[in-house]
Structure 1
Amino acid sequence: MWTLQDAKNRFSAVVDAAMAGQPQQVTRRGKPAVVVLSVAEYDRMRQAAADRRGSFLQHLLEFPGLDADPRPLARPRDVDF
């Protein structure tokens, strides 16, 4: 873990460690702020998330409680003109 000031002063070391497969966490004012990781790791994580995500239509179809028709059973009413 790096403080922001240390990460700025030793940015090459931060990048080298991230490229070696070790994500580097940087803190700001004592709180976690960012993580530096290699492009390969970033791409792997994005692809894994996309693979799990599936399509929006599939997401809607898997929504619980949509097995039955959600519309109430109603009959049209007579209207006088």
Structure 2
Amino acid sequence: MMAIWRVQDAKARFSEFVRASLTQGPQVVTLRGVETAVLVPIAEWRRLTASRPSLKELLLAEEGRAEGLTPPRGKLRRRAATAL
């Protein structure tokens, strides 16, 4: 579970706040009781932002967007068509 910090506490104890994100994982910041931001280690941020292309990049890509969406057909035998 992520720790939750009030913005005043995060500001007053910033070094501790940063260390907690490095040792305990993402830290949530609240502003007037509403979850507003998350502090994550830079390695985690880079992993999250580099893993997927943006929607704009997907739409403007030259390669087709439908490849890999159709599952491969099985090797089952098909029934012969019968006349009605």
TM-score, normalized by the shorter chain, greater than 0.5: yes
Instruction: Evaluate the alpha carbon distance shift between residue 42 and residue 21 of structure 1 in structure 2; reply closer, same or farther with a 3 A threshold.
Output: farther
Q: Unaligned regions of 5+ residues in structure 2, if any?
A: 67-84
Paired residues for 1:38-57 under 5 Å: 38-50=41-53, 55-57=58-60
Question: Which has the larger helix fraction?
Answer: 1
CA displacement at 1:14 relative to structure 2: 1.0
- Runs of 4+ aligned structure 1 residues displaced above 2 Å come to 53-63
Tell me, yes or no, if structure 1 residue 29 matches structure 2 residue 62.
no
Q: Rg larger in 1 or in 2?
A: 1
Match of 2:23 among 20, 23, 30: 20
Query: TM-score w.r.t. structure 2 length?
Result: 0.59
Give 1:48's aligned amino acid: S
Query: TM-score w.r.t. structure 1 length?
Result: 0.61
Q: What is the number of residues matched between the two proteins?
A: 63
